[in-house]
Structure 1
Amino acid sequence: MSALDSLLHRRSVSKVGASAPSHRDLFALVEAAGTVADHSSLRPWRLIELRGAARDRLGHALADAEGPGANREKLVAKMHRAPLLIALVVVHQPSAKVPYWEQEAVASGVAHALSLLLDEAGWGVMWRTGQQTRSEPVRQMHELRPNENLLGWLYVGDAPPGQRELRRKRVNPMDHLTEL
């Protein structure tokens, strides 16, 4: 499949099955995703796999971030929407040439590339965020360092049958592309 076909047919999949790629299965995909444009080759990103009980810990951290009255059981259950969550982390590198926003753009590019590669490999994928993504309890749960911020999570699992046949509403390029 071409890059054009991959982008035109990609869909976020909110309901996935119980299987997910193994740690080893992810190696080639992460290697390929890591080829995104990266000024000064800083590689300002990393990924964290969350499976099993790690998803419960994330649900509890989100509940802690939400504060009193949070529905802890509901938040833990939401983390089980997929068998694999991949935390997307921007790792700010000191640089006189590459500002923070550009490093965050690189990390976002890696995340999007990885989602396309997972989709192309037949997995269902959805990039999720939320109000507590950068909260202190969630930072601590992911063991983030001071120079790191969370961009969200890729939820990954079996793609439902027929997912590729569904169509997304396309943008009108004339609404987004101008000339000077």
Structure 2
Amino acid sequence: MTALDAVRARQSWSKVDDTAPSHEELLTLVAAAGRVADHSSLRPWRLIELRGSDREVLGAAISKAQGDTSPSTKPLRAPLLIAVVASYRKSDKVPRWEQEAVASGVAHMLSLLLDDAGWGVLWRTGHYTRAKAIAKAHGLGKNEELLGWLYVGGKPAGKKPGRRKAVDARKHVSRMPKPKPKKK
């Protein structure tokens, strides 16, 4: 399968089974995902692996962030969650937005690699990703922000991935506008 084939085949899997890649398998994919374009090679990202009871801790933090009394069960929907963290570095050349783009690029590349390796993946976000309770649960530093979680598990037999419409590239690609003639 080519890279183009893999990207075209990628789908979000909102329901996965209870199998997940091992820590070692994950490290191999993260090493590859980390090859995204990264101005000045700042590596302004990190990933946090949540398995087992880590997901319950996250569920309690989500509930606290939302003001709920019972723990959220959302983190229990997949056996592996990968928290995507933008870890901003001081730089005179690379602005904050560009560093966040790198962290997002790593997450997206990792989701493609996981999908290509046969795992079901869904990138979840939510308003509570920026909540203090969530930051504390993840041990985020003052120069870090959570961008969301990759929910990862096995693709259930006989199940279909989420729906995804084809992209009409013509609607999203244009040419640079021609300069207007100067008035004399």
Q: TM-score, normalised by structure 2?
A: 0.91
The answer for the alignment partner of 1:72 in structure 2 is 70
- Amino acid corresponding to residue 55 of structure 1 in structure 2: R
Using the TM superposition, give the Cα deviation of residue 163 of structure 1 relative to its aligned residue in structure 2, in angstroms. 6.2
Separation in 2 of the partners of 1:89 and 1:167?
A: 27
Bigger Rg, which one: 2
The answer for the alignment partner of 1:55 in structure 2 is 55
Distance 1:171 1:138, change over 3 A: same
For the Cα contact (< 8 Å) 1:44–1:104, is it kept in 2?
yes
For the Cα contact (< 8 Å) 1:115–1:154, is it kept in 2?
yes
Distance 1:149 1:8, change over 3 A: same
Paired residues for 1:24-173 under 5 Å:
24-67=24-67, 70=68, 72-73=70-71, 75=72, 77-161=73-157, 168-173=164-169
For the Cα contact (< 8 Å) 1:10–1:164, is it kept in 2?
no
Q: Give the unaligned 5+ runs of structure 1.
A: none
Query: How many residue pairs are counted as aligned between the two chains?
Result: 176
- Amino acid corresponding to residue 24 of structure 2 in structure 1: R
* Structure 1 residues 14-43: Cα deviation after superposition (integer angstroms, max 9, x where no partner): 000001011111111000000000000000
Q: Which moved more, 1:111-120 or 1:2-11?
A: 2-11
RMSD of aligned C-alpha atoms? 1.5
Separation in 1 of the partners of 2:123 and 2:159?
A: 16
Q: Give the unaligned 5+ runs of structure 2.
A: 177-184
The answer for the alignment partner of 2:8 in structure 1 is 8
Q: TM-score, normalised by structure 1?
A: 0.93
Using the TM superposition, give the Cα deviation of residue 72 of structure 1 relative to its aligned residue in structure 2, in angstroms. 2.0
| SS of aligned partner of 2:98 | helix
